[in-house]
């Protein structure tokens, strides 16, 4: 009989939007710190909620079923959700594309 012990232990998290279980590498974490501020990052202290990285669909699904409030054990205001949405989407993009150079344009000399 094969033992599962030979498999590397990959910690799995459940996305609160689509409820799919996946390795935490493909997810972003939203945490509510002890001071009540929301923050994004897998090392943030406090209660955390996981979402598929860069997925608007998962975020919106989580908002619709009020999954944030449940996962974080506290109400999340509409303003906070708006901030989170932007924050999460930029996280998803930045991890897959890497740093982008700032384009300087608009200054066209005659
Ligand atoms: Zn998801």
Q: Tell me the domain boundaries of the chain.
A: 11-97
Q: How far is the CA of 38 from the centre of ligand 1 (A)?
A: 19
Q: How far is the CA of 107 from the centre of ligand 1 (A)?
A: 42
Q: How far is the CA of 105 from the centre of ligand 1 (A)?
A: 37
CA atoms within 13 A on the CB side of 32: 15
Q: How far is the CA of 72 from the centre of ligand 1 (A)?
A: 17
Q: How far is the CA of 98 from the centre of ligand 1 (A)?
A: 22
What are the tokens at 63? Answer: 């908002």
Q: How far is the CA of 59 from the centre of ligand 1 (A)?
A: 8
Q: How far is the CA of 92 from the centre of ligand 1 (A)?
A: 12
Selected residue with higher pLDDT from 69 and 105: 69
Helices 78-97 and 56-64: crossing angle, nearest 10°?
160
Contact 31, 46 (CB under 8 A): yes
11 pLDDT band, cuts 50/70/90, is confident
Contact 88, 39 (CB under 8 A): no
Helix (H, G, I), strand (E, B) or coil at 15: strand
Tell me if the domain spanning 11-97 has CATH number 3.40.50.970.
Answer: no
- Beta strand ranges found along 1-110 (DSSP E): 12-14, 21-23, 27-32, 38-40, 47-52
Q: Give per-residue pLDDT as tens, 28-83.
A: 999 999 888 999 998 898 899 999 998 999 999 999 999 999 999 999 999 999 99
What are the tokens at 91? Answer: 């996280």
């Amino acid at each position: 009989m094969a033992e599962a012990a030979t498999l590397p232990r990959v910690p799995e998290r459940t996305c609160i939007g689509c409820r799919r279980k996946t390795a935490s590498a493909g997810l972003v974490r939203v945490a509510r710190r002890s001071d009540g501020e929301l923050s994004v990052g897998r090392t943030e202290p406090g209660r955390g909620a996981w979402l598929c990285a860069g997925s608007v669909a998962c975020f919106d699904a989580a908002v619709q079923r009020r999954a944030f409030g449940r996962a974080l054990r506290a109400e999340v205001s509409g303003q906070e959700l708006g901030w989170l949405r932007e924050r999460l989407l930029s996280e998803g993009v930045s991890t897959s594309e890497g740093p982008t150079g700032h384009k300087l344009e608009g200054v066209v000399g005659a």
